[in-house]
Amino acid sequence: MADAVLQSRPKIALPPDWSEVARVRHHVEQEYRYSYSGPVTDIRQRLIMVPPSTYGDQQLISHELFVDGADNVATQWEIDRFGNSACRVRASRVAESVRFAVEFEVERTAPPQAQQLHEKSTVDVFLAPTALTAPDDRIREAGAALLVALPHAPVPEEIVPLDSHGLRQWMLAILAGEWTSKAIKYQHGQTGVQTPAAMALHLGGGVCQDYAHIAIAVLRSVGVPARYVSGHVLGEGAPHAWFEAILPDPANPSRLIAMAYDPTHKRFPGMSYITVAVGRDYADVAPTSGSYSGIAGSKLAPKKDAWVIDAQMVGE
């Protein structure tokens, strides 16, 4: 039934130049199917697959969750400590497989806007190292080198007008992203979601979450608060990850804003990006995590599709 609904949404061609897009609506379908070698019981799952209602210029238009193959399913939506929309799912039994699937639509309006953090937010949680972002000597050396390079770095075109402290942090964030983009090669199979930044850097290869973890680790080593972002990029077949630097809001010094950079692609996230969740690292925003009772083994099969259903170009 879900697939029929999804396929009914029209697809239009991706814009040739995303910088010329004034407004765009994206449609996303994502699913995780767990197959078991035998029956399992007491399934408890946390899903972080749907964006918050508002994130900068991004607005959640609609969403729906499907759970197929489980008995006595109960769901409860909540907002976690980072402002993410999380769904707790419980089921009494799964005979063979269970499918967790979401579909949602978001709309973005140009120009991309920085996300304002909650008024009670502090930077401490995004400065402290985690198991996935703990620095080693090489990461600390990279941070020290960025501080040396900072006075000679070009001043970026500002998305928002920043004060001198915020501009310094933002320039360091860009330098860290650019350094990370060259520090490792994009390579599947070398790392996993539990690989720490220092190990990915040592291996010399990884995927988007490794780029994000390394850049975050470098930034935190020089005192720039940064957080992990999970989401999607139109035109890519898998979910994506990037980072945000946490900066003082120039319009209100008592508030904080988050500005994003994608070290995998060495660019600023634009209108083709969809933010789903933020946290200290991947562990905080894993799209699916949970437990079950039973001796059966399990296998996970992910699936995702995203497309543009409406777009307005500048001047139209």
pLDDT at residue 159 in the model: 64
Indicate if the pLDDT at residue 6 is higher than 50.
no
Cβ density class 203-231: b for 16+ within 10 Å, e for less:
eeebbbbbbbbbbbbbbbbbebbbbbbbb
Q: Give the pLDDT confidence of 68-83 residue by residue, as tens digits.
A: 999 999 999 999 999 9
Q: Which residue has the higher pLDDT, 207 or 4?
A: 207
Average pLDDT over all residues of the chain: 93
- The backbone torsions φ and ψ at residue 38, rounded to the nearest 5 degrees and listed phi first, read -165, 175
Q: Whose CA is closest to 135, among 184, 189, 201?
A: 201
pLDDT at residue 158 in the model: 62
Give every CB contact of residue 227 below 8 A, 6+ residues apart in sequence: 82, 126, 216, 243, 244, 246, 258, 278, 279, 280
Q: Whose CA is closest to 129, among 265, 283, 288?
A: 283
Indicate if the pLDDT at residue 8 is higher than 70.
no
Identical fold, 20-111+289-308 and 115-269: no
pLDDT at residue 94 in the model: 98
Tell me the mean pLDDT in the region 296-310.
Answer: 96
Q: Which residue has the higher pLDDT, 125 or 163?
A: 125
Indicate if the pLDDT at residue 1 is higher than 60.
no
Indicate if the pLDDT at residue 40 is higher than 50.
yes
Q: Which residue has the higher pLDDT, 13 or 130?
A: 130
Report the CATH number of the 115-269 domain. 3.10.620.30
- The domain locations on the chain are 20-111+289-308, 115-269
Residue 2: pLDDT band with limits 50, 70, 90: very low
Tell me the mean pLDDT in the region 98-116.
Answer: 94
How many angstroms from the chain centroid is the CA of residue 270? Answer: 14
DSSP string, 80-101: -TTS-EEEEEEEEEEEEEEEEE
Q: Which fold has domain 20-111+289-308?
A: Immunoglobulin-like (2.60.40)
